[in-house]
Structure formats: C-alpha cells, structure tokens
Chain A
Amino acid sequence: MTDQELRVSKIQRGTVIDHIPGGQALNVLAILGIDGTEGDVVSIGMNVPSDRLGRKDVVKVEGRELSQSELDVLSLIAPDASINIIREFEVRQKHRVDRPERVTGVLECPNHNCITSESEPVETEFEVLDGGIRCVYCDTIIRENIASHIYV
C-alpha cells in the first residue's frame, strides 16, 4: 500500500481497513456504526485500482483503534478486508477479519413477522453460516445482498 494508491494522507493513529470490495465502503461504515456524528475523522477511497480485487475501497478512521470483534462483522460483506492499526504513522498491527459465530444488533431481519420486528426489548441476532446468516429467532436465512439489511 503506497501513498499514491491511497490518494489520501497518512494518519498518525487509527485504523485503516483495506481490501474492501469496490463500492462497499459506506456499508462498512454503516456496519461499524460510524456515521460522522461523533466527530471521527474518516477518509474513504472508493474504487481504487487493486491487483487483488480489481477495484477496492479503503476506509481510514483516525483516532480510533477498532477491536477485532468490532471488525469481524465486516467479514459478512468484506471477507478479504485487511486491518491495519496505525500508531505514529506506522502500521503496528496488520490482520484479517475472521468470520464471527454470531452478529448482534447490526442487521435487520427481513422477515416482517419476526419478533425482532416488533416493539420488543430485543436486539437482532444472526448465526453466521457458510455463505449466509440465519436469524436465531425466526430462523430466516439470508444469503444474498446482506449489506441491504444493515440497520440505517
């Protein structure tokens, strides 16, 4: 990853999420619950040329080191994402996202008759399957376009 490829300046401290499939950067931010209202400095590169992915997105979140559990949920829409933790302008940790067993509170169940669609004090929860996710309450399986079920 060179400066030229990033097209944005280095950050002093924070998290760089690289190798996001092209066009998914905004969904990555939505999954992470980062919408800018908390003052985070966020830089996004979209559809940057990539040898591995053809086109990729890159997200840089300054001042925050996102935890592995926060980031693993990204594996649903960006399974090849790589995570760089930056301190003093240097990459101090680099790792991949792992598929979590469960995803809680991030995605909406598409079944309108699911109890999580009612006004009940319950968060959505999905079991992560090979190639999909399954609502632990109503058993509904989602295989396609998981990003469209992100709570907005």
Chain B
Amino acid sequence: MNHDHITSARQLSRSDIETVLDRAAEIAADPDSVANSHEGALLGLLFFEPSTRTKMSFSAAIKRLGGDVVDMGPVDSSSVKKGESLADTVRVVEGYADALVLRHPSEGAAKMASEFVDVPLVNAGDGAGQHPTQTLLDLYTIRESAGLEDVTIGIMGDLKYGRTVHSLAHALTNFNVSQHFISPDSLKLPRKVRYDLHQEGSTVKEHTDFDPILPSLDVLYVTRIQRERFPDESEYRKVAGEYQIDADTLASARDDLTVMHPLPRVDEIAYDVDGTDYANYFEQAHNGVSVRMALLDILLGGGQ
C-alpha cells in the first residue's frame, strides 16, 4: 500500500485492502509479534465529533503497538472553541505526533487537512462523507465470516447520511460481491455513491421492502438512522424506527446469515438478536483494534 494518508475508501485498491486485512489477520493471530514494534510512536487524536469505538480502538491499537496517544480532547476545551481553523489545528498537532486521526462534522475535512500536514492522516469520519477505517474492519469481518468472493450483501437503513455505507459500498466493488441496498425512499444512496458504483461496473439494486430480499443474503449490514445529520427533526421522525429487525424478522434468513452493524445501534436490531448465531456486530467492533493496528503499522513504516 502506497498512501501517505487514508481519507476515503475510494482511494483503496483491492490490493491495498488485502494488504491491510492480511496484516490484521497476522496481528490477530499473534499480537505479541508486534507488541512494542512502534515504541514511542505518538498518535494525535482530533475528534470534533463524539466517538466511542473509533477513538478507543485507535487508542488501543497504538498502545498495543507500543506507542501512545496525544488527544485534543473535547472541542469545547480546545482552541477550536476560540475560532481556530482546522487547517491551523492540524498543522500545530502534526508537530506533536507521528500520525493523526481526524473525525470532523464537515465532509471533505480529512482530505483538506491532509493537504496541510506531512505526517500520515487518517479519516475517522467526515460528516456524511467517508469512514474508510470502519470499512476496513467491516471487510475484515465479512471476509472472516462469509468471505469476499461470490457473496450477497444487504446494506440497510440510512444509506443517505451513513458514511460507513458510502465507504463500504465503494470498497465492495473491488470484490465479487452482489450488493443490495434497502432503505426508505428518503434515505437512498446519494448520487455521488451511485455514480461511483456505476463507474465501477456495479449494478445498484435498491429495495424499499426488506422481507423479499432477506432469504438471499449472506450478510446483512444494518445501520442507524443518523439523527444528527437530518436537517429537521420532523423528517427524522418520519423514518425513525423503520427497518428494525428482531429474531422473528430473521426467521426466513439463511442459517449462516451474518448480521453486522457499525454501532452504536438505537433500535434497529432488537436485543433478542444478540444471542443468535447471526449476530456478529460485537465481534465486528472488536476487529477494529487489529485492523487499526495493521493500518497504523503500515502507515508508520512497518515496525521499527
């Protein structure tokens, strides 16, 4: 993989993806092999939006590689509150860290920030744009559970604002995967993602009804309706609560269906699914550490 920064899943080739996933599998199988391989490395965390999994798994990843984090902390207690631009913030923090992880509410923030720094910068979510490291751990999880060849994947929920969906849909075009998109009309894939899928030769198969497609799926990727991205509350309420699944809903699914979710969930997946063999979303979240270890290991130069 030959990228200075990871800002979008659009930049990742199949070879890039496989390099990271293979390295993640090696690390997961033998974590001790990379312990302290990046001793002293500092990862700068700049999270302008809330995060649990992404932030903590990046922290865990760099620490398991022997490094540590420097964390901007909440926006309210940073110079951002005084009106500092993102461009200035990243130029300052690059002097404190060997790599940066950025989450920001504006689309394109990571790409712009990457133009101002020389250390590797990783997009940890930019508004309703991209979330490429989530995609890498999603692909890792899919590869482990169903494989990435000749599989049928249903992606359901908020396809308009869901950045994990935008990144995943694009990355899946590198593989022999049939993608089905299930959402209300108001939350269908945005034009930009649809354009990319067409450009990559994928057929965009869209559905508003979930039940007919369920029996054909190897993987069901459920997403949260992104309340914070809706311009107004009434539009959110109109679609909130649609496309929920529970153990009964899944009765017609294949026995080996894998249910995934980038988390956090609100009520899209009922708790009674958690105990079924379908549920894979906590495993998916756990995979975030080894995948991010692999990515950091590569970006920081493959060990010291």
Q: Chain A interface (Cβ within 8 Å of chain B)?
A: 111, 113-122, 129, 134-141
Contacts and interface: CB of A to CB of B under 8 A. Distances in A.
Given A134-B192, A140-B192, A141-B191, A114 B107 contact: yes
Given A113-B105, A115-B107, A118-B86, A137 B112 contact: yes
A120 B127 contact: no
Nearest to A138: B107
Contacts of A117: 106
Contacts of A134: 192, 195
B107 A122 contact: no
Query: Which residue, of B87, B107, B192, has the highest number of chain A Cβ atoms within 10 A?
Result: B107
Interface string B195-208: 10000000000000
B251 to A, nearest CB: 39
B87 A135 contact: no
Nearest to B196: A139
A49 B85 CA distance: 51
A138 B129 contact: yes
B55 interface: no
Contacts of A121: 85, 87
A115 to B, nearest CB: 4
Nearest to A140: B192
A118 B86 CA distance: 9
Contacts, number: 60
Interface size class of B (residues with CB under 8 A): 20 to 34
Given A120-B85, A138-B107, A141-B195, 17 more contacts: A111-B107, A113-B128, A114-B106, A114-B107, A114-B108, A115-B104, A115-B108, A115-B111, A115-B112, A115-B126, A118-B85, A118-B86, A120-B87, A134-B192, A137-B108, A138-B108, A140-B107
A141 B129 CA distance: 13
Interface in B81-117: 85-87, 104-109, 111-112, 115
Nearest to B199: A129
A113 B127 contact: yes
Task: Determine the main DSSP class of B at the interface with A.
Answer: mixed
A120 B86 contact: yes
Given A113-B127, A115-B86, A122-B115, A135 B191 contact: no
Enumerate the 5 nearest inter-chain pairs by beta-carbon distance, A residue then B residue, closest first.
A137-B108, A138-B107, A115-B108, A138-B108, A139-B192
Interface of B: 8, 10, 85-87, 104-109, 111-112, 115, 126-129, 191-192, 195
Contacts of A135: 108
B98 to A, nearest CB: 24
20 contacts: A111-B107, A114-B106, A114-B108, A115-B86, A115-B104, A115-B108, A115-B109, A115-B112, A116-B108, A120-B85, A122-B87, A135-B108, A137-B111, A138-B107, A138-B129, A139-B107, A139-B108, A139-B192, A140-B107, A141-B192
B100 to A, nearest CB: 16
Nearest to A139: B192
Contact of A137 (B87, B107, B195): B107
Contacts of B107: 111, 113-115, 137-140
Contacts of A136: 108, 111
Contacts of B129: 138-139
A116 B126 CA distance: 13
A116 B115 CA distance: 13
Nearest to A142: B191
B256 to A, nearest CB: 35
A119 B111 contact: no
Nearest to A136: B111
